[in-house]
Chains A and B, each alone.
Chain A
């Protein structure tokens, strides 16, 4: 099965303020973008499971004109908490990149 990283141009994540993470998946062709957008394997529920957040708190966006899918969700701990593993959340895209699409 193809993974998100196999069909995406690139995947990135970043903190959106200290309390949120946002992940963006960029595509360079319509076919791959539509596959991702319509995939039943990449949903708010997938994000909730991968990142340990409540599904109701996950926001999902598709920006068709630039072929980008985007998910945002609250961090489990605010940035910089005592056992922080990724201050800027810049490496957290990996789980989504490795998920099946």
Chain B
């Protein structure tokens, strides 16, 4: 019977792999090491700038453990969504680190670099052909939106990983990929059950989140022609029918269906069985092949520039009604900003009362006692960094002294920093939640291979 064993050593490459857990996984003789390095969870800045949210040192730590593991055992390493956002430069960045490791360790082998960043021109043509479709909840876009984005990636399915594997790559470094494609690729290629490959991949995509101890360490997945087996790497953790089925809910708007480029996983009728103390066995999921292969598009753009000021307030009168203070200072200072000749279309600002209702916005429940103190955060957004900073500076004296009641002596609030205001650079937005129809899974994908011989330097 066809089967495939996958070591998934961490929920996110760069977040930290524990060597002991990794070694336990390697002892189970995996056919592939598969790791996801990406996410849109931390917001649009990473994609807009083509940058990773993890430190280079931390990424290299995890790349070293996985590269040495793969090269020593003679199995491939699949990494998807290089550098958080999976732009082309992030694939090159990981390739540079892996090359360093090859030279440091004296390895010889082939690296595949899978690129999926898209030029606006290609997408505008797809748009004209009616091949770009909005997903539920997508923002409205126009043909120009593609030009406005700093970077756009088309999210890879399993096929490019399989292609690189067939070309003999030892290390596959891919741009933005679905979390699941990285893990599903090899079992699909080896003829395992298609639904089990995708469902197993979804189960392990966040590492040990699918176990009873979510310590961020990895899991081991075995897919065969009937279903999949999943177990955590650490001996004190367990995958149970409860923890595994509950993970299908995680970060997924529909707990029964998961859309992939080639079709939809339907997990509604899956059967979860405890196989041994640590392992759960899952059967009965289905996969509906799509008639049209689609890739999801992710794009991010610069929306303006910001300046932030933080002031601490313990004044009882302000804390009795922070919303009223915010409304009053906003109206008061906005007049000065306009009088200073700054055009109202060119800036906006926002207050957040941390300790009151910054996190859960809106009115606080009736009867909530006033907080002891709050951190009042002023964020100014403007067309340029310079203008954002000037607007923040107009606010400065009022952030220091604006009273709850003008009939009293002016209070002075508590600044932690000098200068008070802090230019924080650009602010970004995700602009696309769309899919693009492609003729072939590789149509919008480019793969480059590099042979590296690190033996001379060793």
Where the two chains meet, the residues of A that have a C-beta atom closer than 8 Å to any C-beta of B are 14-20, 22, 24, 26, 57, 59, 61, 63, 65-66, 68, 70, 72, 74-75, 78-88, 91-92, 94-95, 98
Residue from B245, B255, B430 within 8 A of A18 (CB atoms): B430
* A65-B245, A66-B242, A95-B360 as given contacts; A17 in contact with B433, CB under 8 Å: yes
Residues A18 and B249 in contact, CB atoms below 8 Å apart: no
Per the bound structure, the CA–CA distance linking A79 and B39 in Å amounts to: 12
A-contacting 9-mer, from B40-48, B119-127, B410-418: B40-48
A85 contact from B45, B361, B430, Cβ within 8 A: B361
Q: CB-CB < 8 A to B137: which residues of A?
A: 19-20, 57, 74-75
Tell me whether B41 and A87 are in contact (CB under 8 A): yes
* Chain A residue nearest to B428 in the complex (CB): A80
User: Counting chain A CB atoms within 10 Å of each CB, which of B249, B250, B379 scores highest?
Assistant: B249
Alpha-carbon distance A24/B251, docked complex (angstroms): 10
Contacting A at CB under 8 A, from B17-71, are 40-45
Question: How far apart are the CA atoms of A91 and B361 in the complex, in Å?
Answer: 11
Interface residue B117 (Cβ < 8 Å from any Cβ of A): no
Contacts from B to A (Cβ < 8 Å): 40-45, 135-139, 242, 245-246, 249-256, 303-304, 306, 348, 350, 352, 358-361, 365, 379, 381, 427-430, 433
Q: Is the CB of B430 within 8 A of A83?
A: no
With the chains together, A14 CA to B41 CA distance in Å?
Answer: 9
Question: A17 to chain B: which residues have CB within 8 Å?
Answer: 40, 251, 253, 433
What B residues does A75 contact at CB under 8 A?
Answer: 137
Choice from A26, A61, A79, A82 contacting B379 with Cβ under 8 Å = A82
Known: A22-B252, A85-B352. A78 touches B139 (CB 8 A): yes
User: Are A82 and B254 in touch, CB under 8 angstroms?
Assistant: no
Nearest CB in chain A to that of B351: its residue: A83
State whether A66 touches B245 (Cβ < 8 A).
yes
Further contacts, 15 of them, CB under 8 A, given A83-B350, A85-B359 = A16-B252, A18-B43, A19-B138, A22-B251, A61-B256, A66-B242, A72-B254, A74-B136, A78-B139, A78-B429, A79-B40, A80-B42, A82-B306, A83-B379, A88-B41
